[in-house]
Structure 1
């Protein structure tokens, strides 16, 4: 009995043709509409099937190893990006203490409601990079680092940092309308509660479309539990945490829609992710440039 193999994909067809040619297997090629057909005579049937099985087994192992290697490398990049961010924030925090004592970074960049409303909008960004002390920074690094680690495995680093920053900015912007003009706030926790919101909504929504997944309750309940434990302490900016979290929920849905649209255009998605990562860094640098530019001794 002859072995008949039908192919619609040119790549698969070419792979089998090369395999049979290399193994010295006799075959004929026919065409039927959009399909290409390989016909192997009865005496070569067993050998052809055996070679195809071995070929597929070797390739599965190869692709698995490549995928595993890619995953490990991607995970390492996530580690490094998180460590570099918080180390940079720590060094930046030391500027006004050890190197430039004439500058009051908190005065320059904190979210002072009155000044922010009076056109100093860069404070929506700069306040996210400031912390009261090392303990404040360390607690945010622990909480935010864990959330971002899991988030970036789904979104990628560039998209991830951009959305985390944007959720913090959005949370700060809404927050200024719920406080008196003398209210002052700073810290990256608003952005990291935004990251929690993004992680929650991407867990609720499936990658394709806006269909709610069956397991929507678990990520939402987990997020509410984490927010209740860490986001409502009396000395914290509860409004910033809440509005950052809600902003993150919205951004997570938008990201799921974008990723679904670009699921077959990986190069475009990667390029966009790189651009947004660079844009995020540029936004922070420009914001602090404006803050220092407005410095008055």
Structure 2
């Protein structure tokens, strides 16, 4: 009897130790890489943002999973017995979030820092050259006098090119550095949404439209210069794009980018005009308003897929922006009238 009881005790102890061992050192289930199964494209990996987004979906649905990095891309693995469920959960999430035609969900795009930095560096060199009154062929050129904003000349002499040339002129280095610093920040976020060429084209268009509106509304007798109108135009375009792009209906969420833009306009809108203490709120406001209208229009066309898109279009619009600045300065050089 004693031997039988001891045998049972040892058996029970063995089972308890076995259960404890299985809990402490669980047997690894066979894992399956489902990264290329979601879109059935055999993709070797996805960006980190998308992988983590999918991981959150699986966590919310209670599906065990794991992430692994493979170079610049990420993979997501699940136990084999959960593979079908995991793929279907991710696909359902993508469908619910109105995936585009390729099945890729809308994720934040990376900021094109290098492209924006190169363009801003080129613009900075141009701005410095224009305010330095350089000597060309023995003659000192005063570009500020040649191309500064003058509402009277715009209205009565047809010199509407001043709406563009004034954007490239500054009162001094402090004025220039301030516009470049704030403008670079706004342009980085705008170019993430629209592309580098398209972003600078829209900012230039908004700045020129804002200066033109300033001339029409305020009438003759006003002088202005500086890129701040285009800077706040970029802010308006960004607000307009974020308000409409990819969203439907009217909601507080839609109005958030617009409200954020107005708040930034109120906080940063006070600036110098021609280096004095005069605040050019009119130029900032008109630039922001023109940019908002352009952003809303571009966002609406994008949402309805009525505007051509892609790298070629982006480069073309960037080239158009450069051509517009060049044509405006040629007009300033020869004193042409745009009537």
Inter-partner Cα distance in structure 2 for 1:247 and 1:67: 40
Q: How does 1:20-39 map to 2 (within 5 A)?
A: none
| RMSD after superposition | 3.1
Q: What is the aligned partner in structure 2 of residue 79 from structure 1?
A: 117
In the alignment, is the contact (CA less than 8 A) between 2:35 and 2:46 conserved in 1?
no
Q: What is the aligned partner in structure 2 of residue 286 from structure 1?
A: 327
Q: 1:146 aligns with which of 168, 171, 185?
A: 185
5+ residue gaps, structure 1, are 1-48
More RCO (CA 8 Å, sep 6+): 1
Q: What is the aligned partner in structure 1 of residue 45 from structure 2?
A: 62
Displacement of 1:56 in angstroms is: 4.5
Q: Secondary structure at the match of 2:278?
A: coil
Inter-partner Cα distance in structure 1 for 2:262 and 2:181: 18
Q: Secondary structure at the match of 2:160?
A: coil
Q: Secondary structure at the match of 1:235?
A: coil
Q: What is the aligned partner in structure 1 of residue 149 from structure 2?
A: 111
Displacement of 1:179 in angstroms is: 2.8
In the alignment, is the contact (CA less than 8 A) between 1:175 and 1:239 conserved in 2?
yes
Inter-partner Cα distance in structure 2 for 1:281 and 1:59: 42
Inter-partner Cα distance in structure 1 for 2:36 and 2:114: 32
In the alignment, is the contact (CA less than 8 A) between 1:196 and 1:223 conserved in 2?
yes
Displacement of 1:123 in angstroms is: 0.6
In the alignment, is the contact (CA less than 8 A) between 1:262 and 1:269 conserved in 2?
no
Higher normalized helix content (fraction of residues):
1
Task: Count how many residue pairs are aligned between Structure 1 and Structure 2.
Answer: 241
5+ residue gaps, structure 2, are 1-29, 48-70, 75-108, 272-276
Q: Secondary structure at the match of 1:62?
A: coil
Distance 1:101 1:240, change over 3 A: farther
Q: 1:251 aligns with which of 290, 294, 298?
A: 294
Instruction: State the TM-score, normalized to the length of structure 1.
Output: 0.71
Q: What is the aligned partner in structure 1 of residue 77 from structure 2?
A: none
- Structure label with greater radius of gyration: 2
Q: What is the aligned partner in structure 1 of residue 253 from structure 2?
A: 215
